[in-house]
């Protein structure tokens, strides 16, 4: 697809989109090594309350995702990002200056709400500029850069703590948000043409929301993705307490955390090849069955080891689990939005928002059972994969029955 001469090159566009998309991920993963420091500074008496510093970002995202899709279709992609990044920056400043947990959580909610604009609008800008195989190639390149964030962010956070305080990390978020939005304003033209803009109509938004919720396949895959993401949110919320505190990894925490992220990246790359050979339904069912079986086996093993098995075995378990997750998220989202192509923008916002809100509830529930061992995380993954597998197989059976009756 030919782009205007004033538009940045494909390489610059990929890096810009990846940078914008990474803002929220950066605000989550960079914080992980600093949770203990924040807890002491804000005088958090119950260590479990520190989990909310992570999960509240996802809560803000859940509300933001359903807003920015229709807003961006009306006022343009760039204005939507300007608004979102401004809210993200305000949230970063509030968190930086916070002296209590409620104020911190307010800032984190705003970070999630504002940053969600980047997640929705970057994909919209890619769709505006590219199509077909070109779009698939660009998305793949962006995801290759994006996966480096959870790999490197904890190390960056740990490095900042060596020379400064946890407040310096929020200063980094503020600087990054201002730099990326300035880059967008300077180099990237608006991609949504005036003739393609839609009215910001609450009735249309509610109609799209209703249609998305009532479609049986879209609803089932949306809930499944939300449940599985909930297991992942539970891991993110507890990873620092488990690996850095319970296992005493200290500075090595970022190395282990990065290895888990690479497993997701590798399986996502493998999925891009496998999906051309095997149906998405079969890939998801296989990944869920794999996750359920290894979680059941490892939970039994960990239980008899007092909940803290050797770190080597825990690492192998997490690598296997996250490999299965990498086969799920892209396929489940694609299957959820597939029957709603005529309202793809609104449907994508609704689906992403519902998934995120479900994940916050499940992730918070998993975190509430934490008692200094791996059992809540492993048990949570077992429950999530098993429930999701039942839903996937039920949908497949119902679809086969409909086809057979025809």
Integer Cα distance of 150 and 214 in angstroms: 35
Q: Residues 271-305, buried b or exposed e (16+ Cβ, 10 A)? A: beebeeeeebbebbbebbbbbbebbbebbeebeee
Q: What is the pLDDT of residue 79?
A: 94
Q: Is 171 exposed, middle or buried (0-12, 13-18, 19+ CB in 10 A)?
A: middle
Question: What are the pLDDT digits (tens) for 2-40?
Answer: 444 467 788 899 889 989 988 988 998 899 899 989 999
Report the pLDDT value the prediction gives residue 112, as an integer from 0 to 100: 95
Q: Which residues contact 267 (CB under 8 A, 6 or more apart)?
A: 322, 323, 324, 325, 326, 327
**Once rounded to an integer, what is the mean pLDDT over residues 92-99?**
96
Q: Residues 284-320: pLDDT tens digits?
A: 899 999 999 999 999 999 999 999 999 999 999 999 9
Binned at pLDDT 50, 70 and 90, residue 133 comes out as: low
pLDDT value of residue 2: 43
Residues 6+ apart with CB under 8 A from 102: none
Which residue in 117, 347, 101, 4 sits closest to 209, CA to CA?
Answer: 347
pTM to 2 decimals?
A: 0.78
pLDDT tens-digit series, residues 153-174: 888 998 999 999 999 999 999 9
pLDDT at 227: 94
Domains of the chain (ranges plus CATH)?
8-190 (1.20.1250.20), 201-406 (1.20.1250.20)
Average pLDDT of the residues of the chain: 86
Q: What is the Cα 79 distance to its own chain's centre?
A: 23
% the chain with pLDDT above 90: 43
Q: Quickly count: other Cβ atoms within 10 Å of residue 392's Cβ.
A: 23
Residue 30 pLDDT: 92
Q: Are 289 and 345 in contact (CB under 8 A)?
A: no
Three-class SS of residue 131? coil
Is the pLDDT reported for residue 403 higher than 80? Answer: no
CA distances 125 to 78, 287, 299, 337, 365, Å, are 9, 31, 43, 18, 36
Residue 340 predicted with pLDDT over 80: no
- pLDDT reading at 199 higher than 80: no
Stretch 227-251: mean pLDDT, rounded?
A: 89
pLDDT at 272 over 90: no
* Cα 213 from Cα 218, distance rounded (Å): 7
List of residues 6+ apart from 232 with CB closer than 8 A: 325, 359, 363
DSSP string computed for 295-364: HHHHHHHHHHTTT---HHHHHHHHHHHHHHHHTTHHHHHHHHHGGGGGGHHHHHHHHHHHHHHHHHHHHH
Q: How confident is the model at residue 120 (pLDDT cuts 50, 70, 90)?
A: confident
């Amino acid at each position: 697809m030919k782009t205007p001469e004033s538009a940045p090159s494909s390489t610059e566009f990929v890096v810009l989109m990846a940078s914008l998309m990474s803002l929220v991920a950066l605000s989550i993963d960079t914080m992980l090594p600093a949770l203990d420091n924040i807890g002491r500074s804000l005088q958090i008496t119950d260590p479990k309350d520190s989990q909310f510093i992570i999960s509240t970002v996802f809560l803000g995202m859940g509300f933001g995702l359903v807003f920015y899709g229709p807003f961006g279709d009306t006022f343009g992609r760039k204005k939507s990002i300007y608004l979102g990044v401004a809210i993200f920056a305000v949230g970063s400043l509030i968190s930086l200056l916070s002296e209590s947990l409620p104020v911190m959580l307010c800032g984190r909610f705003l970070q999630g709400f504002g940053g969600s604009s980047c997640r929705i609008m970057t994909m919209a800008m890619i769709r505006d500029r590219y199509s077909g195989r070109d779009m698939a190639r660009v998305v793949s390149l962006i995801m290759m850069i994006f996966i480096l964030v959870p790999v490197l962010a904890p190390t960056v956070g740990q490095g900042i703590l060596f020379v400064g305080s946890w407040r310096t990390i929020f200063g980094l978020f503020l600087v990054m948000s201002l730099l990326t939005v300035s880059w967008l304003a300077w180099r990237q033209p608006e991609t949504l043409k005036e003739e393609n803009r839609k009215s910001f109509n609450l009735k249309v938004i509610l109609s799209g929301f209703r249609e998305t919720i009532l479609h049986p396949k879209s609803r089932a895959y949306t809930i499944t993705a939300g449940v599985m993401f909930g297991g992942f949110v539970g891991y993110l919320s507890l990873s620092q307490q488990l690996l850095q505190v319970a296992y005493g990894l200290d500075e090595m925490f970022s190395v282990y955390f990065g290895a888990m992220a690479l497993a997701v990246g590798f399986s996502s790359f493998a999925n891009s090849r496998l999906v051309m050979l095997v149906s998405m339904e079969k890939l998801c069912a296989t990944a869920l069955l794999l996750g359920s079986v290894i979680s059941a086996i490892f939970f039994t093993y960990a239980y008899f080891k007092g909940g803290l098995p050797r770190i080597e075995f825990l690492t192998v378990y997490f690598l296997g689990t996250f490999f299965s997750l990498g086969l799920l998220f892209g396929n489940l989202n694609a299957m959820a939005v597939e029957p709603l192509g005529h309202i793809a923008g609104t449907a994508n916002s609704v689906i992403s928002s519902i998934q995120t809100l479900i994940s916050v509830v499940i992730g918070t529930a998993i975190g509430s059972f934490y008692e200094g061992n791996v059992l809540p995380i492993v048990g949570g993954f077992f429950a999530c994969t098993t429930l999701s597998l039942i839903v996937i197989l039920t949908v497949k059976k119902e679809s086969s029955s409909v086809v057979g009756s025809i």
